[in-house]
Amino acid sequence: MTKILVVSDSHGTTEHMTQAVRDSMPDMMIHLGDGWHDAVKIRYQFPDLYVVQVPGNCDYVDDDLEKLIEIEGKRIFICHGHQFSVKMGYGRVLQEALEKKADILLCGHTHVVCQDYYKGMAVLNPGTIGDVKEPGRPTYGIIEINKGKINIEAWCL
């Protein structure tokens, strides 16, 4: 079994990610942007934690805006989501993920949790782990892949 912590939009706040790593004890973490340097800090804090990340619209780094990774035979399409205008709806990013034959779509940008399935594909937007507006709480996602089965859950700190 592989347990993946999924975070997005930390916007300079690492203490919530630190708590989420300690609480969930994941095998890896995926950071979906708007906090590139926060994810780098987590790498140093937890050197055994495998971290994959993509930049968001507030990250000024030169890296791929989207990635397709494979974990336990499952294809995971990751992006921040701004390039697909996810604040206006998920249609474009869903189509892109389906074209890439993804089993899981992960995106952020909206700061609002979305946990769903679309045409057999697991979809997760973990909300925001850092840039929380009152009366909200930091949120993140957990994906477990076990013997070909995918389980996704959104969590609050």
Count up the domains in the chain and report the number: 1
- Provide the pLDDT for residue 132: 78
Give pTM, 2 decimals. 0.96
CA 49 to each of CA 9, 27, 124: distance values in angstroms, whole numbers, following the listed order: 19, 6, 21
- Provide the pLDDT for residue 134: 65
Q: In terms of residue numbers, what domain contains 69?
A: 2-156
Please report the sign of the dihedral spanned by the C-alpha atoms of residue 46, residue 153, residue 138, residue 126.
positive
| 114/97 Cα distance (integer angstroms) | 16
The Cβ-side half-sphere exposure at 155, using a 13 Å CA radius, reads 18
Q: What is the CATH number of the domain that holds 41?
A: 3.60.21.10
Cis omega before residue 47 (within 30°)?
no
End-to-end CA distance of the chain: 24
Angle, CA 109 vertex, CA 152 and CA 104 arms, to 5°: 30
Question: What is the DSSP pairing of strand 121-126 with strand 104-106?
Answer: parallel
Do the Cβ atoms of 150 and 103 come closer than 8 Å? yes
| 12/130 Cα distance (integer angstroms) | 7
Residue range 72-107, pLDDT digits in tens: 999 999 999 999 999 999 999 999 999 999 999 999
Q: Which residues of the chain have pLDDT under 50?
A: none
The Cβ-side half-sphere exposure at 120, using a 13 Å CA radius, reads 7
